[in-house]
Chain A
Amino acid sequence: MSYLDSPRLHFRGWFQADVSTINNDVRFFQNASFVPEYQQLNQNDKGLIQNNWNPEGTGVFRFLDCAVTSLDGITVQNATARAPGKLVDLDPQQQMVSQIWGMQIRLVDAAGKTLVQGEYKPAAFTNLWLRQQDEGLPNDQQLAAVYQSVIEGVQWFDISRFPLLQSLQSATQAGQLSINFNVFGYSRNNMVPRYTMGHVVGTIGPYLQGEPKQFVRGRQFIYTGNWPVPAGGMGNMQAKVSSNGNTVTADFGNSFPIERANSGLKDIGQVFLGVLATNPPTILSTVSSGQVALIGEVPYCTGGWYDRTAGVVDFELNSNARQLIPANPLVVVSPAADGSYTVRLQETIDGQYMRADNFVYRIDPGQTQHIEFYADRFGAPIANATINLSVTQGFMGGAGGGKTVQPVTRPRAAIPAIATPADAVQWPTSVTADNQGHATAPIVASAEGPGTPRGYLSSQIYGIGYQLASQPAGYVSNPMNYVSILAYSKKEAPETPTWYRDIQYLFTQYGNLYPIMGRYVVNLADYHDVVRRISILELAFSLPIEEPDHMPVTRDLGAGDRATILKWLRSRGPDGLPPLGTPSQSPPVPPPIVDEQAEAALPELRPEQAAGKTAVLLNLEKRGRIAPFSQKGPSK
């Protein structure tokens, strides 16, 4: 069971992602070349750092004005007695798996009483695509994505007036709920009210023990075309056939394009869900009326449809469709003038789909973690499936999202190579699923960790690609389906940590990249200011990673580094303060192993492109890692 099962409720409103932007370029992590100008707000191509559109970002991710559209007066809200959640990139060289941490989700009645409450299990977005068709306002984020996870530790309060919530409580298991929400219409323009905000439309439904948490085992539609621009004009989606075979529930929530941020869904003509009469070995672009059994029309142009349903539609199946659906791909089609149908989206070839549930890992030296895989064909488990694992760099590496820095960093900051040394993180080359199509693969970090191959960063990133051994030729995969790993460097906390030897470098780096903290709370580059704020720093560094106020907010320091910081904050020299040490103790920063391809290929970006996710994509395009795609820039 998942948010696609019943009962479910839908919500719509706004979200804020107040992310900070200086860490969008890996080169700014080099302290030796950092200058204060890199902290200036800059929404254009003038100045040192182009499109540094939110240097004082707090990292906060939160819902606002979110109303449950199927229950009058009920709202979806975040924590009411602690800090809001945080949106966190895995790494400056992997910004395509940003996760939400520490976000509490509550359903609240009209009188402000909490009805249901739980914790969003940290999960990254996926299915990024160029959803907003019109360029809109300068610095509009035309890309959109979807988050799916579970709400854990669910507490139910007085829900006696709400039969829907009561049936949700009895349907769900393991103290969890399934949640899925689509984010779009985000703005990076500090002159518009939407600055750091966008729309959210989502669904909450039951969770069943043993099911994956970040996707639905069912029927998956992956678009073709030059990623992230779908050839059929619609984004990836998933659907599920009911256990009795009578109904299919499809989620179009992240699939229909929008014209502009606030325009609602774009009218792209009639759209139907259907099922093919055969199981073709390719992705089709058109089908004749005889090749497809239409299941139903998607009423997406009906007023309020999207708000009311979050794009989730139940279709009753007629006997023909019921017969076809277990062994033939679903399609999303639009009628063409000649009586045929244009295929906008098609279920994966042969209905095969295998995915890692969680695909983002942070791992300390000597640690083992596990990837959970689920393999299905037309929504049914592939027993004993063989899953092959490989090295990939996915969308990782490069400078990150930055444009050429003018002038270049002084001294020049090299763009580190990733995934080196290769043997610091190991995993099997293949695993076999059980009879339910479920497989587990260990990720093992070596006891010594990766060292510091990136020089000015105390970690390394790795990617694992995965595919079914049985995957048919010509299979279209989701390019976002790979596993990203941040492997922390090893650090033994010394007997007596000192500021100069163990703390100054990390704190200075953090203060450079997150000036909201350094300017207004504690100047992390200054020993004397730091020791005035020992209590709050000790609290923040000792909070579990799940807590919203965990430091570092970026969750990019390993256990060794954090233990050293805590030990230092708790130790006292003769003057009653954490030991300062001497400048001569400052360890030299090793030069990074350089990614020569990334260095050579730094693209020249238009200013409106040189920001975050968009720039990452253009960077990848330039380096030949994705096919060219066109994002329209502002005309003026």
Chain B
Amino acid sequence: MIKLDPQILTKIQLGGLPDLRYYLQKAVELEHSTIPPYLTAMFSLKPGVNHTIATLIHSIVVEEMLHMTIAANILIAIGGRPEINKRGFIPEYPGPLPMNIGDLIVGIEAFSIPLVQNTFMAIEEPEDPIHIQPPPTFAAAAQPSYATIGQFYDAIEKKILDLGSDIFVTKTAPPQVVNHHWFPPSKLFPITGPEIACAAIEIIKTEGEGTSTSPFQSGHDPAHYYKFGEIVNGRRIVRTPNGGYAYAGEAVLFDPAGVWPLKPNCKIDQFKKGTQARTRIERFAYSYSTLLNSLHDTFNGHPERINAAISMMYDLRVFAVSLMETDALAGGGLTVGPSYEFVDTAGGMPG
């Protein structure tokens, strides 16, 4: 579970508009920070096998992108400017996610059941997970003083309502990103006032954690925590006759042979200039940085550039292939994994 410093809640409660903007920028960073680890796990699944798992992770990545977009739109709506193309925007992997003070360390690794169970489920864990039979083996240790992501978003909602419609700017803000080619109007809509901002935040909370009474965020679509639970337990969630829930549905098969054996937490500097590993990891990192640049433009006055950003997401998928096929020269047959360092120069060959 991501644990925030309780002082953050106090700062939001007692602070004014600048603090609210500051923490919405943090929300953008937090929502983004889950994408690299999830994306890497998804990329590491070889085509043709583990299809259901890849589809489940893909659906979560898409929703994290939606959450990042919603947070950025709210920030824009209250006169802020999302800052996305800067070095500190991407957290250091392995490391804590933005604002987290708990001991959860998130790295960039190939897919594995323990990764999903110990890291991804921990990222998405609600404050009070609904008991699903059989329960996930993962157990959270009680910690005395921390705030949850849910509380963080609650505090933001409350502050927005407190400050009221005066903080919502119309003419001075760059346009929000409201593109229904990629997200339906029920999930992505213009943020024009306090109530609608709160409704949008509820989407983030529900898709991530579910509701307090159901693991499903809507229909039969489980929230992230429970989707990862389905992967770990090898079964989809179904309702039980007694009104509860069980991992007893359709099988979610995992074939361990269908995963690229990525060296964990690869960094550009670990590879010598002029090697295939180096040029390929640099190409990936440069492309990821390009994606962030295009997103920055998207959220700073050029919403139409969302198309270039989405295209880059698919390009990344393709660029990951040759990378993951490259020997990391680390022994054990490990291959090169992606790096999400912010890079502003295409390179990797000797001068």
Q: A residues touching B (Cβ–Cβ < 8 Å)? A: 13-14, 16, 56, 58, 62-65, 67, 75, 77-84, 108, 112, 193, 195, 197, 516-517, 519-521, 535-536, 538-540, 543, 549
Contact = CB atoms under 8 A, between A and B. Distances in A.
Contacts of B276: 193, 195
Contact of A82 (B47, B274, B311, B345): B311
Interface stretch (B9-17, B67-75, B289-297): B289-297
B351 interface: yes
Contact of B344 (A65, A80, A535): A80
B279 interface: yes
Contacts of A516: 318, 321
A457 B184 CA distance: 38
A81 B294 contact: yes
A549 B315 contact: yes
A46 B154 CA distance: 64
B341 to A, nearest CB: 14
B319 interface: yes
B325 to A, nearest CB: 8
Contacts of B293: 80-81
- Which range holds the interface residue count of chain B? 35 or more
Contacts of B282: 64
B208 to A, nearest CB: 23
Interface in B159-200: 181-182
B101 interface: no
A82 B181 contact: no
A445 B254 CA distance: 55
Contact of A521 (B274, B307, B310, B317): B317
Given A193-B279, A520-B47, A539-B181, A81 B346 contact: no
Contact of A75 (B312, B315, B345): B345
A239 to B, nearest CB: 30
Interface of A is mostly: mixed
B321 A81 contact: no
Contact of B318 (A58, A62, A63, A538): A58
B47 A519 contact: yes
Contacts of A58: 315, 318-319
Contacts of B345: 75, 77, 108, 112
A220 to B, nearest CB: 33
Interface string B25-56: 00000000000000000000001100000000
Q: Which of B296, B310, B347 has the most CB of A within 10 A?
A: B347
B251 interface: no
A549 B311 contact: yes
Contacts of A81: 290, 293-294, 296-297, 305, 308
13 contacts: A14-B349, A58-B318, A65-B347, A81-B293, A82-B290, A83-B308, A83-B311, A84-B346, A193-B279, A193-B349, A517-B318, A519-B321, A536-B311
B311 A540 contact: yes
Interface string B269-295: 000001110010011000001100110
A75 B286 CA distance: 15
Contacts of A549: 308, 311, 314-315
A112 B290 CA distance: 13
Q: Which of A14, A56, A193 has the most CB of B within 10 A?
A: A193
Given A80-B290, A83-B311, A193-B276, A535 B182 contact: yes
Given A82-B308, A520-B47, A520-B321, A65 B181 contact: no
A77 B290 CA distance: 12
Contacts of A67: 351
Contacts of B322: 56
Contacts of B315: 58, 83, 549
Contacts of B181: 535, 538-539
B82 interface: no
B188 to A, nearest CB: 13
Nearest to B307: A539
Q: Which of B305, B318, B321 has the most CB of A within 10 A?
A: B318
Given A81-B308, A539-B307, A65 B348 contact: yes
Given A58-B315, A65-B348, A549-B308, 9 more contacts: A13-B349, A62-B346, A64-B346, A65-B347, A81-B294, A197-B279, A535-B182, A540-B311, A543-B307
A65 B307 contact: no
